[in-house]
Structure 1
Amino acid sequence: MLHGRFDEGGRSESTDLSVSGIYQISKVLMASTRLEITLTNVVNILSSMLEMHHGAIVVLDDENEPVISTTAGVTPSPQSGGGRAIPQTIIDEIVATGAPVVIPDASKSELCQADLQTSASDGVIPGSFIGVPVKAERKILGTLSIVRLRGDATSFPHDEDVRFLTMVANLVGQTIWLHRTRGVDGRQLPEEQGRREKFPDSERNDNGGRLPAKIDWIVGESPAVKQVLAIVSAVAPTNTTVLLRGESGTGKEFFAQAIHELSRRRTKPFVKLNCAALPESVLESELFGHEKGAYTGAISQRAGRFELANGGTLLLDEIGEISPAFQAKLLRVLQEGELERVGGTRTLKVDVRLICATNKNLETAVANGEFRADLYYRINVVPIVLPPLRDRPGDIARLARVFLKRFNKENGRELAFAPSALDLVSQCRFPGNVRELENCIRRTATLAQSTTIVPSDFACRNSQCLSSLLWKGTDGSNDGPAIDEFSTRRAGASQGELSSKACDPNDSGCPATGARLTERERLIDAMEKSGWVQAKAARLLRLTPRQVGYALRRHQIEVKKF
């Protein structure tokens, strides 16, 4: 099995290991590489995690014949059917039943004998065989299997292995389906492109509704955005649960709307809820609804967001912020597709396509016992990582024009950017991402002195850009700020130097003046001004005491005591 022990908190170590494995496999499956390479990497990860004799992923064609076979461990013998990764008889059984196949002792099974007789020459006697179907869109696309080492899994139940391998197989199935419908770079495969060229005016989904030709609310031509849109276009027609991940302000709600609009459910409601904005008691009522008199203030019956989204799509934003107690309630609804209103007894069936979004590191949350592993597996079917704005600098000017056009329309103005103004804004790194860029453009447009916006209209040229403090003091990452990483590692500056993107040229600390301070010098200066009191220094640097403490240790600065 994955592992059998429990830590001091009573949490199974297999949970941590399986979460780590799913996370690593998800990253591999998101890579833009040939399918054979991607699947080989997946099997190699499994081999590094599990004590197994060998593992294999077999991809089948429409006639259930293997077209791709990737293995790790002992190479199967030619006697197993032309060098197949696993015997065809087992493949046929998995395909026919659509269910896992478990053989407790593979060395005694006639199905596995041909595959294992010669491979046992390495002195390692195989144990149990576990194979699961690889599915997508209700179709079996292949198989995922492992052969355990004797003495490892044969004396234990196999439920945990089957559950883990099934989750991996689901991720693999979505990747295979994505590669079959679209190229790894987002371009349509020849057969799909030919179909669209043949029927250009009849592009329809399974319900007969015409698909929108353009997602005009998402602006971007950078490779990072195009890759995300390719995944969105591929996953949208399915009912697969999607997990949108990325920093705050990267536009998770807009991409969720794109998935809905490109799906078969687009004529049905698109309902959204920010889970972090409500306490647990209110959140339960908002999602599941309540009956009249269920609690004080419930003066009438009310349908919840799940009911309102029936037949459509439900976006649960900030999913990582819900409490463990409510996670259990949510998991039941996701598993059973049914719920009961607060204060009610009648069970209601719902058909909802779920999209979740978070800027939280869920893997760390699961490892710390803050987020249920079973809920993590349920929502992390197809993870989509949205790129921060600093990774798509070519889109900044394009987005700025869109936001200014929107401002003009709303306010009856006719403002325009001078080329130098667009050059300036394109150099900014915007730790608040697209949301911060829009706010910057609106503020600048509101206070502009003429119909042409010039560099001097921007707050950063007038020592009024509060975001510059973030650039000098945080890294903009999801793992918590650090005093020097954003301005060095991500701004491309030399280690320890301040970023020149956000400072006022009249400031003595601005690199443009030649009086460039290192982060270590800024930290020491703040500590000296505050009498070496970390809390006071933190206020001067606009950081938290924890961040200052981290920076002191990082730079090996000894705190003076008086």
Structure 2
Amino acid sequence: MSAGGDTDNRLQLLQSQLQTLYRLGLVFSRAESLRPTLEAVLAILHDEAGLLHGMVALREPDGAALSVYAVHAEIADREALRYRSGEGVVGWVLAQREPVMAVRLSEEPRFLDRMGLYDRERPFLAVPIPIGDAVSGVIAVQPSTPAVLSEQAAFLEMIADFIGSSVQRVWEAERGQRALQEERDSLRRQLRGEYGFDTLVGHAPAMRRVFEQVRQVSKWNTTVLIRGESGTGKELIANAVHYNSPRASTAFVKLNCAALPDNLLESELFGHEKGAFTGAVASRRGRFEQAAGGTIFLDEIGEITPAFQAKLLRVLQEGEFERLGGTRTLRVDVRVIAATNRNLEDAVVKGEFREDLYYRLNVMPIFLPPLRERLGDLPELTRFLLDQIGQRQGRTLSITEGALRALAAHDWPGNVRELENCLERAAVMSEEGVVDSDLVTLPGLTQRAQAEEIAAPPPAADLHDPELSERERVVAALEQAGWVQAKAARLLGMTPRQIAYRIQTLKIQVRQI
């Protein structure tokens, strides 16, 4: 070939490569998923650059072999085509990290022809696809002409660099997506564990009815009204209903209705448009929009004003509302769980609560009994709460029988919330992780409960029980002796000085009776 003809070939090749690079740039800039991107790249190389029947093989997760990932041809069982390191031309490129350039494929002894695709009388190119310092794959093509083969090989190496960058971005995005999915699944499992039926503690008949109601109503989209005194665990029941329902994977949005005045409550629940009021510098979605497809929990529903009750009724009846300051009607699919400690029937009679809203909310009422009516559950509930407190503190907590007797003597006006606070205070004060009766302090303990504890003491503990620790034995003796140290010393066969020493070293808080 003349020098002029060689120059013309190179100019034609350069123009073709520039056009190819332009089109490849558009493909790489829009790359989202890997296989369609690679297939588009191979199609452009085939049509624009004369690099025929391109094939990309990528390293498998364990790194031991390559799998054919994309090929510009109809190949049966493409997914089954694999090349171990060093096997064939493709495996050799992977192992040696060097390109292979054959002027005539029939002269390349390493070629295996597994795909039955390439013309043995034409040239062949295979180059590594790098990611950093590693080789992530191999790209192979068959040039339509052996002319300027070295320039075509250099061009293919450039394309391999682009492919390596694209593969890295997609793989990183996929790893990030998998990590997010694993975190999401882990959080779902954690939420189900925290709010599953196993976390509902109690064997009292009233609580067993509650648990059965929760199991039944969780299956459906029925509106639930949870009723009970403050501190009985209404939010815990709401969590259990949502996280054991078909909506468990969707949003669970909560709002305490008593915490906001009407104007702010409307904005919180329904959202607002820009300029709806002073300070509304941008549009904002409300809690109902945030909960679309999921559940909204409206705590203290009995505290909303009659004026706002009418607005809430429309959402419950029609699933429609407008943002504050807006004119567009929005529709949402939201399950409603409400809670209150008020007597809504009395409020309806007094005209303080709309009767139609009451019936709309009271589809499935669940009544939570106060703690004083289920004292038989107190030991189990106490140990459950101590386990949770212990997890937060990173240690194991236990409670003595004397402490349980002290807890049972209380009226619990604050219900389970008061019990949890009491146990957390006691746990903080316990250096050894044992909650004893002298650590149980109950602000507001009724005089009646104190008198009952003194006048009618529970059955005395066995001071010779080998299961009792030394501290429990001394406290039990003091309780049996009415906290008279000399009498307690006689019960234990000690001198007054010895028991005084034990009280000091064991850090027992002496009660004054």
| TM-score, structure 1 normalization | 0.45
Structure with more helix by fraction: 2
- Rg: which structure is higher? 2
